[in-house]
């Protein structure tokens, strides 16, 4: 299947109707990526994050976060630091309807760590929506792969760390978060 590409607004309509919920990766997608960030003062939203979330919230579409945080398992950040960073994200971007967090290391082999579907399935269940009606927006291939594995739709918003192969494999891409949200809403503002 050939990936859908967009590069300008107005964006192309999404292939199906509005999602029942939109889940976002945290680091590199909603906020600038600071590896193993345990310092809430270093949290900075990416451009258009607030606007993208506002579009969804005004339509009553639940929003959530699905994030791998292996720094906890690796002993690089404490649980309280993780909670403080997540609180700061909400202070800057508003409340999220659900948070699904994998604290495992990659070698733990858990079912929740993206690209496994566990976080997406967990968030969808907590929101009471079918995974097939969920969209996951992220900056790397594991975000899109987790969506696919859960039966959800994925949208990739590439950053400098996104590998070219991940961009080519993504079913949908967008140049920024606001465009990604408009894409899944069929261009509605």
Could you read off the pLDDT tens digit of each residue along the chain, which spans 189 residues? Answer: 333 333 332 333 333 479 999 999 999 999 999 999 999 999 999 999 999 999 999 999 999 999 999 999 999 999 999 999 999 999 999 999 999 999 999 999 999 999 999 999 999 999 999 999 999 999 999 999 999 999 999 999 999 999 999 999 999 999 999 999 999 998 665
| Angstrom distance (rounded) from CA 21 to CA 132 | 10
Catalytic residue selected from 27, 139, 143, 145: 27
Catalytic residue selected from 25, 139, 143, 145: 25
Q: Is 25 a catalytic residue?
A: yes
Q: Is 139 a catalytic residue?
A: no
Tally of CB atoms within 10 A around 81: 18
- Domains recognised in the chain with CATH numbers: 22-184 (3.40.50.1000)
Q: Please check whether residue 45 is in contact with residue 30, taking contact to mean a CB–CB distance below 8 angstroms.
A: yes
The whole model's pTM is what? Answer: 0.90
- Name the DSSP class of 163: -
């Amino acid at each position: 299947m050939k990936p859908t590409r967009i590069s300008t607004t107005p964006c192309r309509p999404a292939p199906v109707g509005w999602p029942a919920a939109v889940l976002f990766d945290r680091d590199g997608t909603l906020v600038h990526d600071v590896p193993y960030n345990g310092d809430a003062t270093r949290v900075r939203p990416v451009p258009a994050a607030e606007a993208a979330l506002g579009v969804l919230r005004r339509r009553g579409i639940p929003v959530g976060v699905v994030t791998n945080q292996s720094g906890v398992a690796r002993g690089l950040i404490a649980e309280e630091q993780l909670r403080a960073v997540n609180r700061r994200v909400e202070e800057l971007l508003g409340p999220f309807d659900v948070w699904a967090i994998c604290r495992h290391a990659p070698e733990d082999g858990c079912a929740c760590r993206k690209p496994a579907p566990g976080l997406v399935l967990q968030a969808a269940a907590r929101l009471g929506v079918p995974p097939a009606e969920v969209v996951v927006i992220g900056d790397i291939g594991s975000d899109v792969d987790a969506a696919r594995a859960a039966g959800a739709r994925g949208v990739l918003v590439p950053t400098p760390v996104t590998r070219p192969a991940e961009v080519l494999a993504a079913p949908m891409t967008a140049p920024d978060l606001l465009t990604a949200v408009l894409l899944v809403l069929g261009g509605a503002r």
